[in-house]
A and B are shown apart, each in its own frame.
Chain A
Amino acid sequence: MNSLDPRVIRLPDIGEVGRINPKPALDQFGTYEVFVLPKEGKPFQHEGIVHAPNLEMAYVLAKETFTRRFTCASLYVVNTLDVFVSPLSEGNQNVYDQIPQILNQNSAKVNYEIYHLPKRGKQHVHVGRVSASSPEEAFSIAKEQFQKEKIVYNVWVIQSTAIRYTMNEEKDLWLTLPEKKFRDAAEYKGGEKLKEFLKKSKR
């Protein structure tokens, strides 16, 4: 290939110029939802998704995609398929009003994490954990425990064991973030140099 960039010239001939075979489904893998704890003492919040071949890779990619800057205390990921989603309400409707009561199921209980959407257009925020025998029951218990006066528009429920958490020994992943000044706008102050230049050019 003719190019200004020698690295482009050196690219191997592979495939056919201008053609690509249509990708089969899942060529780009499934999706994983990413939650970030920006600071100790704040709740985890949903930040977006990554495509990954498995939970472990999703964790690595999430770290690169969502925590390159500012501060991060912790991060976790979960397969999109493992998130149970309530209906979405609007205006002054509280979505908890649409959730039926399903309680007292006698089978074994496990932990579920509960997330609220406090405002349309914002991110889901972690509000706490309940113990329930099914996701449906988890919604009902969440309604009892977490429904306050404030309107909730959407609720997510995730079984805790489905989540790939940050382990204690991994928390040092973000210790060096504040040192990476080259990613920080504040590091590029041109004001002094500019002033000096303007003074000189006036003379």
Chain B
Amino acid sequence: MYGGGNTFEEVKTDSFSQEDPIKLAEFEARIERGEKIEPSDWMPQLYRKQLIRMIEQHGHSEIIGALPEGTWITRAPGFKRKMALMAKVQDEVGHAQLLYSAAETLGKSREQMIDDLITGKSKYSNIFNYPTFTWADCCFISWLVDAGAIVNQLANAKGSYGPYCRALDRICAEESFHLKYGHHCVIYLASGTQKQRDMFQEALNRWWPPMMHFFGPADKISIHTQVLMKWKVKMGTNDDMRNQFLDMYVPKIWELGFTIPDSQLKKNSETGRWEYTEPDWEEFKRVINGDGPCNKERLEVRRIAEERGKWVREAMKAPNQKYVSPLA
């Protein structure tokens, strides 16, 4: 899973005009032909920078995203659910490994990425800064947050950077299990006792606003975003992704008889787009900048894990090893 709505660094719109025009033209022609860019190919600085940022954020989101669900493994209802949730959390951490490797091929070391996560320099998906009070919160993540992630990941898998696309192909294959598992959990809650139904309804009420934040605020269509779209770094606007998610999942939530806590939510039959109450972007900004209910806990858990593992890494270090970036 992972949070979409990547925030792209604003740079001066002419910062790529300093690139070698011939190489830039070749690079763009290759993307135009639908060919992938590989680590050893020439690429503009802006392309490299934005990809590192995006893939790294995605990797961090997998690691941090495993925490709110991981906390429910011991309390999941029954052996089967425990096994499934354990497998899912293991997948998420595995996805982070794949993503960090892809980012590494662009020249940022894994050491640096982990440090930047812990010091708060790099971001991760905002939605994981919210707590999972009940089992139903955990089910909401497994089903709907993963569903949102799949919308993003399927789009990004058609991007231009080879190692990222290959990692995403693997990830999407595993996410199909997460989505089916999550839906299965929610169907069982929906068809269970009134108490179970209420529990999921309450989780839905809590998680709907962060879910609407998940895809990020509407993009300002600047020359900058247009360039990123042309280079197939950004594969669709945040609003497009949100709309696609609503299209696919609102009917499924309604089918189960739950109420989405937004009285304005409806599909405009003329435009084919969903209309909804504008999410509270001030809260989004506040939480992403560190002031959410769980930001501190998430980073502390990660930092303590890092500190506790230090002696193991020290003990296993091979003195004569050299570092080269991975090949593909």
Chain A interface residues toward B at CB < 8 A: 1-5, 7-8, 11-12, 14-15, 17-20, 22-31, 33, 46-51, 53-54, 57, 64-65, 68-69, 80-81, 83, 85, 88, 90-91, 120-121, 123-124, 154, 156, 180, 182-186, 188-190, 193-194, 196-198, 200-201
Contact = CB atoms under 8 A, between A and B. Distances in A.
B301 A11 contact: yes
A37 to B, nearest CB: 16
A186 B179 CA distance: 11
Given A15-B303, A185-B177, A26 B97 contact: no
A197 B191 contact: yes
B168 to A, nearest CB: 12
23 contacts: A1-B300, A8-B71, A12-B308, A14-B307, A18-B119, A18-B120, A20-B118, A24-B111, A30-B323, A31-B104, A57-B316, A65-B97, A68-B94, A80-B327, A81-B324, A85-B327, A88-B38, A88-B40, A91-B33, A123-B328, A185-B181, A190-B183, A196-B191
Contacts of B300: 1, 11, 17-18
B166 to A, nearest CB: 7
Contacts of B191: 193-194, 196-197, 200
Given A121-B36, A185-B180, A8 B301 contact: yes
Contacts of B33: 91
Contacts of A65: 94, 97-98
A182 B176 contact: no
A23 B114 contact: yes
B262 interface: no
A180 B177 CA distance: 13
B266 interface: no
A15 to B, nearest CB: 4
A90 to B, nearest CB: 7
B184 A190 contact: yes
B187 A33 contact: no
Contact of B109 (A28, A50, A123, A198): A28
B22 to A, nearest CB: 15
Given A3-B297, A33-B326, 18 more contacts: A14-B304, A18-B300, A26-B321, A26-B323, A28-B110, A29-B318, A31-B325, A50-B97, A69-B174, A85-B40, A120-B36, A121-B166, A156-B327, A185-B177, A193-B188, A197-B190, A198-B255, A201-B257
Interface residues of B, number: 73
Interface in B287-306: 297, 299-301, 303-304, 306
A48 B166 contact: yes
A31 B324 contact: yes
A4 B80 CA distance: 24
B114 A80 contact: no
Contacts of B177: 183-185, 188
Contacts of A12: 304, 308
A120 B54 CA distance: 22
Nearest to B72: A5
Nearest to A51: B110
Contacts of A15: 303-304, 307
B139 interface: no
Contacts of A180: 87
B304 A20 contact: no
6 closest Cβ pairs, A-B complex: A121-B36, A53-B316, A23-B111, A197-B191, A188-B184, A190-B187
B124 to A, nearest CB: 16
Contacts of B179: 185
Interface string B65-94: 000000100100000100110010011001
Contact of A182 (B80, B162, B165, B304): B80
Contact of A53 (B101, B308, B317): B317
B12 interface: no
A47 to B, nearest CB: 8
B101 A48 contact: yes
A25 B97 contact: no
Contacts of A185: 176-177, 179-181
A182 B90 CA distance: 13
Contacts of A83: 327
Contacts of B94: 64-65, 68
